[in-house]
Amino acid sequence: MRFEPVAPVRAYERVVEQIEQAVVSGALKPGERLPSERELMTQFGVGRSTVREALRVLQAAEMIRSRPGDPRGPEVLAASPAALHRSMHRLARADHVGLAELLQFRMILDGSAHLLAAELRTDDDLAGLDAAWEAMREGVSHGYAEFSRADVAFHEVIARISRNPLLVVSEEVVRGVVLELIEDKLEHASNRTSLMRAWLSHHAEVLDAIRSADGAGAAHLAKQALYDNYAEYVPAAQRPLLAPLLRS
């Protein structure tokens, strides 16, 4: 016989529970409105500060949104990966995760996304990729910022083709954190035009592989490109950690 540790239950937690339950059970659908704080406080029989703390928690979880002045009350939001994004971001920035681990993870995710994209792509998807590539090509002459945006868009299209939101979100997060870690080093990258051209031709290869449904090829191209571009920022001692992924 073992006993569970007991923790006092705070009033605002009960409020959170009830509202959360109403949302996940579908009783409250996205777009619908919660009663106003003053109304909730009479319904739950608690003070307004308690109601507000509960709403804060739900808002932090991206389940509701409240705007001052709106007589319709707080809005129930559709489930979105935004909360997942935030918590993953926080975890990824926590101390014990270095650039090597991030890059490793990104190679895994990016490789898998490319693999799936190559195997699952429809003709519509291919058209979307062509458009994204075209945007990149035009971006070259519009400066690095523009090109970079188009590059990100290209990756997003690929992630979307893989049809897995978890993959999309994770990749987005990891990419963001990697860029945060090395942004200062990227500042004084010289010869950007030739860099962009190299990137562009790499993406053309990827596009070909996906078009011909060559999953393994696309995955390898993606991983190799990440390695070629970022390995120099990884401490030499840790680079062997990345190599195994290139051989798969």
Partner DNA sequence: GTCGGTACACTGGTCTGACCAGTAGCCTGC
Partner DNA sequence: GCAGGCTACTGGTCAGACCAGTGTACCGAC
Question: Which residues of the shown chain bind a second copy in the complex (CB under 8 A)?
Answer: 8, 12, 24, 26, 49, 52-53, 56-57, 60-63, 68, 78-79, 81, 83-84, 86-88, 90-97, 101-102, 104-105, 108-109, 112, 115-116, 119-120, 163-167, 169-170, 174, 215-216, 219, 241, 244-245, 247-248
**Residue 36 or residue 164: which is nearer to DNA going by CB?**
36
CA distance readout (Å), 185 to 179, 233, 238: 10, 8, 18
> Helix, strand, or coil here: 76?
strand
DSSP for 167-197, please give it.
Answer: HHHHHHHHHHHHHHHHHHHHHT---HHHHHH
- 197's contact among a second copy, DNA, none, with CB below 5 to 8 A by partner kind, is none
**Residue 37 or residue 214: which is nearer to DNA going by CB?**
37
**Residue 15 or residue 129: which is nearer to DNA going by CB?**
15
**Residue 67 or residue 96: which is nearer to DNA going by CB?**
67
Tallying the residues shown for the chain, one arrives at 248
**Residue 104 or residue 199: which is nearer to a second copy going by CB?**
104
Residue 9's H or E segment, with its range, is none
Taking alpha carbons only, the member of 158, 159, 182 closest to residue 234 is 182
> Helix, strand, or coil here: 20?
helix
Residues near DNA (CB under 7 A), total: 28
Binding mask 57-96 for DNA (x = CB under 7 A): ---------xxxxxxxxx----------------------
- 69's contact among a second copy, DNA, none, with CB below 5 to 8 A by partner kind, is DNA
Note whether 31 binds DNA by CB under 7 A: no
CA distance readout (Å), 110 to 73, 101, 225: 41, 14, 10
CA distance readout (Å), 69 to 29, 37, 42, 73, 107: 22, 12, 20, 9, 47
Residues 6 or more apart whose CB falls under 8 angstroms from that of 84 comprise 169
- 170's contact among a second copy, DNA, none, with CB below 5 to 8 A by partner kind, is a second copy
- 132's contact among DNA, a second copy, none, with CB below 5 to 8 A by partner kind, is none
Q: Binding to DNA (CB under 7 A): which residues in 136-165?
A: none
- Cα dihedral sign, 126-164-104-155: positive
Note whether 23 binds DNA by CB under 7 A: no
Q: Do the Cβ atoms of 119 and 222 come closer than 8 Å?
A: no
Q: Which residues bind DNA (CB under 7 A)?
A: 8, 10-12, 34, 36-39, 41, 45-50, 52-53, 55, 66-74
